[in-house]
Structure 1
Amino acid sequence: MPGPVLYGSAIDTACLLWERRCERRAACRYYDNTRFRQRYLGLQLFFEVGAFLCFGAVYVILGRQEREASQARETKAEPEKEKLAGNSVKSPESKV
């Protein structure tokens, strides 16, 4: 649902006195300021906490993927290091 529709619905719940036109509810004439504030800020807090949780989940998932990738690079590089180190080490029998 689009944000303006959600905020409009939340704000409408704070109405105390509705204007009537043609036997139907029209615009709000008087709002309960406390309820209006609570609904508006509560909805804002809900969206911000949701965004923070999504950011945290992405951060954790990407951190795990990065660690796994770096471990894979390290294990792939270790045999090459051993080969290079094995060729440079002199054996006790060598006279050079």
Structure 2
Amino acid sequence: MPGPVLYGSAIDTTCILWEKKCDKNAACRYYDNDLFRHRYLGLQFFFEVGAFLCFVTVYIVLRRQEREAGNVAETKTNPEKEKLAEKSIKNPESKV
């Protein structure tokens, strides 16, 4: 859901006195300021924490992909290292 809809819904739940037009709620005339503050800041905190967790997740995934790409590129550009690595795996007793 879009942010303004969520904020509007949270703000509407803090209304104490609604104006009536044609037997329907029209506009809020009086808000519970304490509840308004708690709902508004709580919703903001929820969005901030969610955005931070998404950022950390993307950062970790991209960092892992960058390391893997660097390892692949390093072995492709330096085939001698790859040969030495294969020899050391075949003969673990020999020192390279």
TM-score interval w.r.t. the shorter chain?
0.7 to 0.9
* Cα deviations by residue, 1:36-74 (Å, 9 ceiling, x for unpaired): 001111111111111111111110000000110111122
- Larger relative contact order (C-alpha < 8 A, sep ≥ 6)? 1
RMSD of aligned residue pairs (Cα, Å): 1.8
Structure 1 equivalent of residue 3 of structure 2:
3
When normalised by structure 1's length, the TM-score is 0.77
Structure 1 equivalent of residue 68 of structure 2:
68
Larger radius of gyration: 1
When normalised by structure 2's length, the TM-score is 0.77
Give me the identity figure in percent: 73
- Number of equivalences: 83
Instruction: Give the direction of change, closer, same or farther, for the CA distance of 1:79–1:37 in structure 2 (3 Å limit).
Output: same
Gaps of 5+ in 1: 84-96
Q: What displacement does 1:82 show?
A: 7.7
Give distance in 2, aligned partners of 1:75 and 1:25: 69
